[in-house]
Chain A
Amino acid sequence: MTTRRTTLQFDSATEHGDYDHLLEFSDVSLAFKGIKALDGVGFHVDDGELFAIIGPNGAGKTSIFNCLNGLYKPQEGSIRWKDEDILGTRSDRIADLGIARTFQNIELFAHMTVLENITLGRHVRTKTSWWDGALWIGPAKKEELANRAVVEDIIDFLEIARWRKYPVAMLPYGIQKRVELGRALAMEPELLLLDEPVAGMNLEETEDMARFILDIREELGIAMILVEHDMGLVMDIADRVMVIDFGERIAVGPPEEVQNDPNVIKAYLGEEMDL
C-alpha cells in the first residue's frame, strides 16, 4: 500500500458474491404526514451497473437516496443489500457496508482541507482507535500513511492535486463537486450514489465529470446510481434508466426504450389536448 501505483485500484475489488442483486429496492413507500414522497417504488441494481434515476423536480429521487442512506425510514417495502435487509439500519453502518454518496447541494466539511475531506472517506476502511492516534505509534501511523497513499491516488485520478491543501470552502464549485466524489471514492464503495453530479456545471465541467464517472465504472467496477437532470448525460452513459413522477415509477429500462415510452413523454412534456 505504501508504494505508488500508476492507476487507481482498490484492494477490496468488487467481485460478484452469492446474491441475486447487489441492491434490491422493492415496493418502498415513504410518506411525510400524508404527503406521499414515494409510492411503491421498486428497482434493482447489479454489480458494476450504471443505473440512472430521472424525473421532474419533487418526484422523489433524492428521497430514494435518503432511504438508502438510512436518513429516512420508509413505512413500507424493503431495501435489500446483497440479499440482506438493511431497512432501519443506522446511516454509518450502511456506509460501512459499502454504500457511498455525493450530495445535490455540496455537503463537504467546509473548514477542512481537500486532503482532510477525502481522508475522512477512509473512516469506514480504517479501524484504529483514538488512543492509537493520540500516541501516533504503530498501527495508527501505519494506517495514516497507507490512507495518504490511497488518497493521493484518488487526488491524481480526479486531477485535483493543486488544490490538495486548500480549505474546501475556498474552491470553485466544480472542484468542490470533484472533491465530494473523491471523498465518496475514498470509502472504496461497492455502490456509489451520485445526486446530480453535474448540476450547475458548464459543458466542459460536465464532460469532465462524465469522464470520471465512466472511468470509475471501467477501472474500478463500482456500481452507481445516478440522479440527474441533464438528459444528454443520462442517455449517453447509463445502462438502465428509471423514471419516476410524483413518487411513482412510470418506466424502467435501457435509455432508448425509456426515451420513447409514452408515459415518460407525458410526464416531461405534458399531455396533448384537443382544443
Chain B
Amino acid sequence: MRTRPRLYVSYSSEMALLPTWTQKIAALAFLAFLVIVPFGVIPGLGFLSDNDWLKLLSRVAIFAIGALGLHILSGLAGQVSLGQAFFVGIGAYTAAVLGGEVGKSTWGLGLPIWIWLPAAGIVAALVGALIAPTAVRVRGIYLAIVTLGLVFFGEWIFRSTPFITGGAQAGREFPSLQFRFWKEEVPFLDFTTDGSWFGISVTSEAKTYLLLLIFVIMAVIITKNIQRTRTGRAFMAIRDRDIAAEVMGVAEAKNKLIAFALSSGFAGLTGAILGAFVGRLVPEGFSLFMSIQFVAILLIGGIGTVSGALLGSAFVILLPRIVQDFTGFLASVAESGSGFFSWFAGIFVSTGIDDPGIVSTLPGTSPGLNIGQFNLFLYGLLLIGFLIFEPLGLYGIWIRVRNYWKSWPFTY
C-alpha cells in the first residue's frame, strides 16, 4: 500500500480522463444510475422508466451526439456554425437511402446497420470537408451567415428530391435499429421489439435508450480524447489566436477543415439515429430551428466544455416536457384548491375561455399562450438570460455550486 495514494507518480495517470478517484467513482456511480433508469427501481425517479420519458431521454442522447459535434467546431475551434441541421439531414438521408426499404417512390438499398450508420457519419463528414474550404475563409458572424445559407439550401434540396426524402410534408420511412449480418429476415439484435436480456424483460424503449447511451459514451470519449491531444490543442489555439497559432506551426485551413468534418460527421450520425428512432421524418424538420436548438444547447449548457454540451442537451430537450407537466399541475391546483396557492396558480394558468392567464391548458382559442408558444418564449428568455448573466451556462453554475461546497463553511 502506497502511503500517499493520491500522489501522481506518472504522467499517464495525471493525464487520464478521470485523474482522481473521486472523479472515477462519481463517473461510475452516475453511469450506473443511467443504466438502471429504465428498470424503474430508483426511488422517487421511477417515472423515468415510463416509455414517454425513456423516449425523451433517448432524444437527449441523440441530440447530445450532434451537440458534441458542434462543441468540437464552435467550442474548441471557435467557428460559429448555424449549419448543423443541414448535416443532420445529410446523415439522415444517407442512412435512409442505404438502410431504408424501397418505397413507392423512394430509393432504398436495405443494407444492414453496420453499413448505414457509419456511412451516414462519413458522408456527412465528407460534405462538411467539401464545404469547409469556402467556410474557413470567413469568420465570426460572417461564417454564421454562410452556414445559415447552407440550411436553407439544404431544405430546398431535401424538398426537391422526393425519391430520397419522400418529398415535402410526406417524408419517408427510415431504417430501424435492428442489427443484421446482411439482409436476412431475423435480426440478431433487435431494438424495436420487447424482449428479455439476461432473464430481465426489457421494453424496446429501454433497449433503444441503453443502445443510445452507449453511443453517447463513445462520442464523449472521442471528443474528450481529441480535446486533450494534438488536434484538439490546435483547434483551441486557432480559437484563441489564429495568427499566433499559424506562427507556431498550426496549419489553420487544414485544422479548420478537420474540425468542420468532425462536427459534420457527428451531426450525420445524429441524423441517422434520429431517423431510425423516430421512424418517419419530413424534410422540413432539418430547418433553422434545429440548428438553433444545437446552438442553444451549447450556450445554455456552457460553451467549450463537454459537460456543458451534455447538460445543455438534457435541459433543452427535457424543458418542454417539464413545462407541460408543471403547467398541468398548476392548472389542477388552480381548479381544485382554494387559498393563496390556487389563486397564484390561477394568475399563471388560464383554464377557461373567460379565465385570463399567461399559459393556457385548453386546446384552441383561449386567452394566454398555448404550451408550445410558451415553451418558445421561455426558450428565448433563457438564451438571453444565460448570455447576459452566465456565459458559462449550466456548467458555470455547477462550478460555482461545487466551489461553494468545496470550501464550506468558509467563503474561500
Contacts and interface: CB of A to CB of B under 8 A. Distances in A.
Interface of A: 69, 71, 90-92, 95-96, 100-101, 103, 107-112, 116, 119-124, 126, 128-130, 132-136, 140-141, 143-145, 148-149, 152, 183-184, 187
B243 interface: yes
Interface residues of B, number: 31
Interface string B218-254: 0000100110111111101101110111111111100
B92 interface: no
B237 A136 contact: no
A149 B15 CA distance: 12
Contact of A123 (B240, B248, B262): B248
B12 interface: yes
A92 B240 contact: no
Contact of B226 (A100, A119, A134): A134
Contacts of A112: 233, 236-237, 240
A103 B225 contact: no
19 contacts: A92-B246, A109-B237, A109-B239, A109-B241, A110-B241, A111-B239, A112-B236, A112-B240, A123-B230, A126-B230, A130-B258, A133-B229, A133-B232, A145-B11, A145-B12, A145-B15, A148-B11, A184-B248, A187-B248
B220 to A, nearest CB: 12
B304 interface: yes
B226 A111 contact: no
Contacts of A69: 247
Contacts of A184: 248
A192 to B, nearest CB: 12
Contacts of A116: 233, 236
Choose among B15, B226, B245, B247 the residue with the greatest number of A CB atoms under 10 Å from its CB.
B247
Interface of B: 11-12, 15, 222, 225-226, 228-234, 236-237, 239-241, 243-252, 258, 262, 304
Nearest to A68: B247
Nearest to A91: B246
A123 B249 contact: yes
Given A92-B251, A144-B15, A129 B237 contact: no
Given A95-B248, A112-B240, A120 B233 contact: yes
A187 to B, nearest CB: 7
A130 B231 contact: yes
A152 to B, nearest CB: 8
B345 to A, nearest CB: 45
Choose among A92, A96, A140, A148 the residue with the greatest number of B CB atoms under 10 Å from its CB.
A92
Main secondary structure of the interface of B (DSSP, over half): helix
A149 B11 contact: yes
B240 A110 contact: yes
A121 B250 CA distance: 9
B302 to A, nearest CB: 13
A107 B249 contact: no
Contacts of B304: 111
A143 B230 contact: yes
A95 B226 contact: no
User: What are the nearest 9 A-B pairs in CB distance?
Assistant: A133-B229, A95-B249, A124-B249, A109-B240, A107-B244, A130-B231, A91-B246, A148-B11, A92-B251
Given A133-B228, A136-B229, 6 more contacts: A100-B248, A109-B241, A111-B240, A133-B226, A135-B222, A152-B11
Nearest to A110: B240
Contacts of A129: 231
A110 B78 CA distance: 13
Contacts of B243: 71, 91, 107
B236 A92 contact: no
B247 A71 contact: yes
A144 B236 contact: no
B15 A120 contact: no
Given A69-B247, A109-B241, A123 B226 contact: no
B237 A120 contact: yes
Contacts of B11: 145, 148-149, 152
A130 B226 CA distance: 7
A95 B225 contact: no
Given A95-B248, A141-B12, A108 B241 contact: yes
Contacts of A141: 12
B247 A123 contact: no
Contacts of A136: 225, 229
B233 A92 contact: no
Contacts of A144: 15, 228-230
Contacts of B230: 122-123, 126, 128, 130, 133, 140, 143-144
A18 B126 CA distance: 44
Contacts of A148: 11, 15
A108 B243 CA distance: 11
Contacts of B236: 109, 111-112, 116
Nearest to A65: B247
